[in-house]
């Protein structure tokens, strides 16, 4: 049974329900199929995971609880990778070394001299 046949069977079997409720059920089941397809499950397998249309219809129309034929294994979309080790933290000290101070002061002095020379 393909997707359209499955949904048509449900549409026909749920015809005694109000239109809004019936459309909500059909849309929900169609979305389940779409998600399964996105996760690499075949259309036939996705439909089989939902169960037999007669069981689904009985559940919604008569309030019967359908026993699942099998349990669906969880679908993992992205592998979860645990961090191996945190990188060592660098010191958060904001101290500037005396060398850097002298270097910056020297550069400022050179820039100042160049500017003064340009004004002459």
**Using one digit for the tens of pLDDT, what is the confidence trace for 47-93?**
888 888 888 888 888 775 544 555 555 555 566 666 666 666 666 66
- Residue among 83, 25, 75 nearest 51 (CA): 25
The structure tokens listed for 72 are: 């669906």
What whole-number distance in Å separates Cα of residue 115 and Cα of residue 1? 84
Residue 5, pLDDT above cutoff 80: yes
C-alpha count within 13 angstroms, C-beta hemisphere, residue 1: 16
Which residue matches tokens 């500037």? 96
Percent of the chain with pLDDT over 90: 6
Per-residue CA distances from 16 to 2, 45, 58, 93 (Å): 23, 28, 12, 73
pTM for the whole structure: 0.52
Of residues 71 and 96, more confidence is placed in: 96
């Amino acid at each position: 049974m393909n997707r359209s046949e499955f949904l048509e069977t449900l549409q026909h079997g749920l015809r005694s329900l109000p239109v809004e409720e019936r459309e909500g059920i059909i849309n929900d089941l169609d979305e389940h199929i779409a998600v399964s397809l996105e996760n690499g499950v075949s259309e036939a397998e996705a439909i089989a995971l939902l169960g037999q249309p007669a069981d689904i219809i009985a559940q919604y129309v008569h309030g019967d609880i359908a026993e699942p034929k099998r349990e669906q294994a969880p679908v993992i979309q992205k592998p979860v990778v645990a961090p191996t080790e945190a990188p060592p933290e660098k010191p958060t000290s904001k101290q500037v070394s005396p060398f850097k101070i002298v270097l910056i002061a020297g550069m400022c002095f050179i820039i100042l001299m160049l500017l003064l020379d340009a004004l002459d």
